[in-house]
Structure 1
């Protein structure tokens, strides 16, 4: 099939590359000329394992192309995927300005095509962006309004196809999904999208077909539920700590209950990223607009905001609230491992709080340092490796559980640090082992 992807951000680039990998002809369009020029050379603007390989491979075969020309992308595709940013506005509601602006431009292009073409045109426009419920209906309304009398010359379909890509595992998630959700209001759109996704579900994953409004709601509901599990365990961890219980033992025990399961039960310094915070704010706003008070969803967000500052309180308590000129080593800056994404990362809050208290920060992350430098500039010293960050440090704070941080040489670490204190924000270390080696250890939910 001939596909265009409008927007080459995280979702758009992964989507375009993976569709090309399955044999489709894909044009990825973006207004960022510098980004497009780099992509044409196979230079990837984000860190995502495996993505660079399939982008370069499909560039070489000619199945994947990049352009800044929206008309070219629309003209040369049967299916147009909208993979555009929907950032939170000041009130938390999803800002659809960019999305609707692009839709208007697409409508004008389609009007021109319908006016010039003698044969009947056929276009399917698919929203892959996370958007408030009812957005697909508005897109269809906008398109029909702009097409006017030419609307009968185009067989035009609008669908919703939410993405469920985990940063750090996005290529695998796309190529081998656990389910594909398709929101359609007509049979032809369903037929086209079923055919498109058939190569990705041969192992038995279901294609779930529903109306567009339900499909739009699925993504918000899934993200809110997953965030709720983490926030809930963070609250239980805080209680365990006060009661002398070990949240790790509690987590493992409840995870064996098949009604609960073991995933997304790890307590820590809070969640972040581009999806959970944005989607939960938008979901709360949807509830507010429709007279439904989402108390649980609101609490999920509030608990997470508190959790980000918890480890700072532990540091203040250990050092007697005097952090001036204390050197704090930070391991991990991205909001999760295997990504360079710093959006809403707990490290942003933790580092800023420590800087306010007069601490000196030395930080290391395997891939996120360039993005972190854009945020902190020279307020933070960035180390070349994890051990360099520890030289003469008064404490080590583990924020992001990268694989290379899991089994460090603690004997060597002890020789580097001024005082051997570890604040384990992800509970990846054995407290007894560290105590035997002479470290003072603080975890999350360790009574």
Structure 2
């Protein structure tokens, strides 16, 4: 099948590459000439495990190509995926200008039946706006050309996007056209060989599904973070609580890990957008407003712990003279994405309190330099930043941090003090190793499996 992917960001590049891997002819389009030139030369603009190898192979075999010429790509393709950015506005609403600009360009250049697929996360009703814009352009040309608009939201997890696309939990197709539904089923058939997980529904329900899914997951995270904070005050261990409630099949274990709050390109943006959508319908989404507020407050928990333990309240900046080593900058492991990352709030607050910050991350240092510049110290070695630091703070749960050399850590820090924002270690083990260990929502008791 001939496919055009408009937008070579995270979603577009992964989708285009995986469609090419299943035998389709895919043209990826972007207005960024430098990015397209880089992709043509094998330079992948994002870090995602396994992506580079797939891009290179499909380019070599002629199934995947890159261009800035959207008009030609549209004319050559049956299915056109719109995967451009929908950044949040100041009021939290999704900005659709790039989506609608693409729709206009398609309307100006299409010469035969086309399927326009909204792959970007867009508010309910966006498909109607896309259809209206295309019709407007066709009327200007006095052209009568059939087309259809589909909602096909993405459910990719950064760090596991290839597997998520090739072996999806589900594929949601929003369309009111039976013929178009069959074409989309054919396109996704290679990913449904073991089990058919493709769900066809009306367009508005498909658009809502993506927001509802992310809002539910964000709610679980914020709920568990508040339970963790309560556990600390009540002398309970949140890890035991998680095991106790996660064993209930109605709840499950996923997204019940407490920490320093959620981040990334999806949860914060989608929660805000759904709240805004509700307001536009004269409905106050009280629950999601609380989810968002809890998440912002949770990003302050780690620095509050650090300041309480190390701060000198007689100083205007209580952490003046203190050095904090940070492990983890990306919003989650296996990505270099720092959009809405808790680390940004944590580091900025530490700096505001007068601390010196040294940071390590396996992939996100380059992105961090764009945010912090020379205001913090960076290292490609996770142990180098510990030398002379007053404490280690763990912000992102990279595998590299799960089983470190504790003796080495102890010898490098000024004092054996660890603030663990991701609960990577057993409090009992840390106590035995001679560390002062401050995790999230754990009282340090030893629990024995029964």
| TM-score where L is the length of structure 1 | 0.97
Quote the residue 1:289 is aligned against.
280
**Counterpart pick for 1:443 among 428, 439, 442:** 439
Per the TM alignment, residue 149 of structure 1 is displaced from its structure 2 partner at its CA by 7.6
Residue 239 of structure 1, aligned match among 198, 217, 230:
230
Which residue matches 2:305?
Answer: 314
Gaps of 5+ in 2: 313-317, 444-450
User: In structure 2, which of residues 392, 398, 403 is the aligned counterpart of residue 407 of structure 1?
Assistant: 403
Q: How much does 1:319 deviate?
A: 1.2
The 5 A counterparts of 1:110-121 are: 110=110, 113=111, 121=112
Q: In the alignment, which residue of structure 2 is the partner of 1:158? A: 149
For this pair of structures, how many residues does the alignment match?
Answer: 438
1:343 aligns with 2:339: yes
Tell me if the contact between 1:144 and 1:151 (Cα under 8 Å) persists in the aligned partners: no
- How big is each residue's C-alpha offset from its partner over 1:329-364, in whole Å with a ceiling of 9 and x where there is no partner? 000000000000000000000000000011000000
1:22 aligns with: 22
- 2:369 matches 1:378: no
CA deviation digits over 1:248-281, x for unaligned, max 9?
0000111100111110000000000000000011
Q: Given that residues 138 and 144 in structure 2 are in contact (C-alpha distance below 8 angstroms), is that contact kept between their aligned partners in structure 1?
A: no
For residues 43-82 of structure 1, the aligned pairs below 5 Å read: 43-82=43-82
Query: Offset of 1:98 from its aligned partner?
Result: 1.2
Matched-pair contact (CA < 8 Å) for 2:108–2:141: no
Checking the alignment, whether the CA contact within 8 Å between 1:178 and 1:205 is kept in structure 2 is no
**Aligned mates of 1:376, 1:390 — CA distance in 2:** 19
What is the alpha-carbon distance in structure 1 between the residues aligned to residue 338 and residue 277 of structure 2?
26
Compute the displacement of 1:12 (Å): 0.2
Cα 1:17/1:237, change in 2 over 3 Å: same
Higher mean alpha-carbon deviation, 387-396 vs 434-443, is at 434-443
Residue 155 (structure 1) shift: 2.1
CA distance in 1, matches of 2:402, 2:151: 40
Shift of 1:42: 1.3
1:303 aligned to 2:294?
A: yes
Match of 1:32 in 2: 32
The DSSP-based 3-state class of the residue aligned with 1:88 is coil
Q: Which runs of 5+ in 1 are unaligned?
A: 114-120
Separation of aligned partners in 2, 1:150 and 1:159: 23
**Paired residues of 1:122 and 1:154 also in contact (CA < 8 A):** yes
2:212 to 221, 227, 232: 221
In the alignment, the residues of structure 1 paired with residue 268 and residue 340 of structure 2 have an alpha-carbon distance, to the nearest angstrom, of 7
SS at match of 2:113: strand
Measure the CA separation in 1 of the matches of 2:20 and 2:204: 28
Residue of structure 2 in register with 1:331 after alignment = 327
CA distance in 1, matches of 2:320, 2:280: 46
In the alignment, which residue of structure 2 is the partner of 1:116?
none
Question: Structure 2: how far apart are the matches of 1:378 and 1:228?
Answer: 36
Map of 2:446 onto structure 1: none
TM-score (norm 2): 0.96
2:409 & 2:141 partners in 1: Cα distance? 71
- Select the residue among 266, 291, 296 that pairs with 2:257: 266
Contact kept, 8 Å, 1:360 with 1:380, in 2: the verdict is yes
SS at match of 1:314: helix
Deviations 1:217-257 (A, max 9, x none): 00000000000001000000000100000000000111100
> What is the rounded CA distance, in whole Å, between the counterparts of 2:421 and 2:100 in structure 1?
41
Q: Name the CA shift for 1:361/1:320 in 2 (closer, same or farther; >3 Å).
A: closer
Q: Secondary structure at the match of 2:150?
A: strand
